[in-house]
Amino acid sequence: MVAWNRNADLSAYNSLGFKVTAERFLQVTEVGQLHDALNEVVENKWPLLIIGGGSNLVLHDELPGAVINVATSGINVLADDEDQAIVEVGAGENWHGFVSHLLEMGLHGLENLALIPGSVGAAPVQNIGAYGVELADCFHSLTAYDRETGELVQISAEQCQFSYRNSIFKSSEKGRYIIWRVRFNLSSIFTPNLSYKGLTDYLSDQGVEHPTAHQVYTAVCEVRKQKLPVPSELGNAGSFFENPVVPEAQFQALKASFPDLVAYADKPGHFKLAAGWMIDKAGWKGYRDGAVGVYEKQALVLVHFGAGSATELLALADRIKASVSEKFNVSLEMEPRIYPHR
C-alpha cells in the first residue's frame, strides 16, 4: 500500500503561490516507492503529475489523481581527473543550493545559472539557461526511471537532444522518464562566460575586469534580483513566454517597422526576438488586473499578488499574446507547463 497524502496543499510546490490541492501527493526517495506508486497510478488510471520545485508550472486549483515529488538528494564527485570532475546530484536537490555548493567545492561551469528557482531534476527538462550559459553546456548524463520498462536507465547528453528551452523530456519522450539523478561535467579551472552584456556592465560598474568565479556568481545573483521577482515575495514562474525564433526576412521586416527591436542572431537564417521587449512595447509592463499582473521591472514575467488563480493568470496571458500578435504579428509560446491542461 502506498501512503498517499490525501487532499494535500501544494501552495509550497508552485512558485506562483496559487492555492492548489492535490487529490493524492507523495514524496519519493527510493526507487521501490516510486515503482509501487506508479503501479497504483496505472491500475487506477489516475492522471499523474511529476513535480520538482514547481517553479515552471501553472497549476489549477484542484489536481485530480496523483502528484509525485522526487526528493532524491546528495551531491557526489564521481570522477576527478586533473582539472575535470563529474559530479552527480539528486533530482530533488534545490538548483541554487547545488550551484552554491559547487562554488564552495571550487568546481566551475554553472555560476551563470545561480539563483534559478526550482529543483535539479526539473533543470534538464527545459534546458534552463541564463546570462549566456545553458544547462546543456555542462551536462554529462542522467539517470531516469523509465515508465515503459519500470527500470532506471542512463541517458546521455546527446540522447537528451537539448535545444533552447527544450529536450526530449518536454517533446518526443514527454511523460516517459522520471529524472532521478543528474551528472555534470565541471572544471576546477574557472573560465568566465561574460557574453551577456548586463553581466559585464554590472562587473565593470564594480571596477572588475577579470572576475573570479565568486564575483561572477555574485554578479549573476545581483543582476537577477534587479530584474526578476523572488517567488517567496511575489509569486511568479520566471519568464512566462519563450523568446520566439523567426526567419531572417520576418526579423528584417519587423526591424524596418520597429528600429529599436531587440533581437539576437540564432540558428542560421534565424533571429531570436526579445519577447519581453515586445510585451513592454505593447504597453503591458506593470499592468495589474486584480490578483495577477505583469512585473513592473521585466515584462516577460507574469506575477501573482495573492488570492488569485491559474484561470485569471492564463486569461491575462491570452490577452498579452493577442496584443503582441496584433502589434508585431508574432505568436508567443508560453514557457511554463499548465496542469491539468484544459
* Interface ranges with ligand EPU (CB under 6 A): 130-131, 196, 198, 227-228, 238-239, 242-243, 262, 274, 276-277, 280, 285, 298-300, 335
For the question of residue 335 being annotated catalytic, the response is yes
When the beta carbons of 35 and 227 are compared against ligand EPU, the nearer one is: 227
- 169's CB contacts (< 8 A; 6+ apart) are 124, 125, 160, 177, 179
Least spacing, CB of residue 298 vs ligand EPU, in Å: 5
Least spacing, CB of residue 233 vs ligand EPU, in Å: 16
Least spacing, CB of residue 274 vs ligand EPU, in Å: 3
Least spacing, CB of residue 132 vs ligand EPU, in Å: 7
When the beta carbons of 81 and 205 are compared against ligand EPU, the nearer one is: 205
Q: Which of 15, 119, 141, 239 is catalytic?
A: 239
For the question of residue 165 being annotated catalytic, the response is yes
Give the 3-state secondary structure of residue 204: helix
When the beta carbons of 239 and 309 are compared against ligand EPU, the nearer one is: 239
* 30-39 contacts, C-beta under 8 A, 24 or more apart: 31/145, 31/152, 31/180, 33/2, 34/68, 34/70, 34/145, 34/178, 35/145, 35/150, 36/2, 37/2, 37/4, 37/66, 37/68, 38/68, 38/145, 38/147, 38/150
Q: Which of 24, 147, 165, 183 is catalytic?
A: 165
Q: Could you write out the DSSP letters of every residue in 13-42?
A: G-TT----EEEEEEEE-SHHHHHHHHHHHH
Among 23, 16, 19, which Cα is nearest to 49's?
Answer: 23
For the question of residue 248 being annotated catalytic, the response is no
Q: Which position's Cβ is nearest ligand EPU?
A: 238
When the beta carbons of 266 and 335 are compared against ligand EPU, the nearer one is: 335
Residue 337 grid cell: 507547463
- 232's CB contacts (< 8 A; 6+ apart) are none
Least spacing, CB of residue 300 vs ligand EPU, in Å: 4
When the beta carbons of 39 and 204 are compared against ligand EPU, the nearer one is: 204
Kind plus residue range of the DSSP H or E element containing 238: strand 235-239
Q: Which of 100, 323, 335, 337 is catalytic?
A: 335
Task: Name the residues annotated as catalytic.
Answer: 165, 239, 335
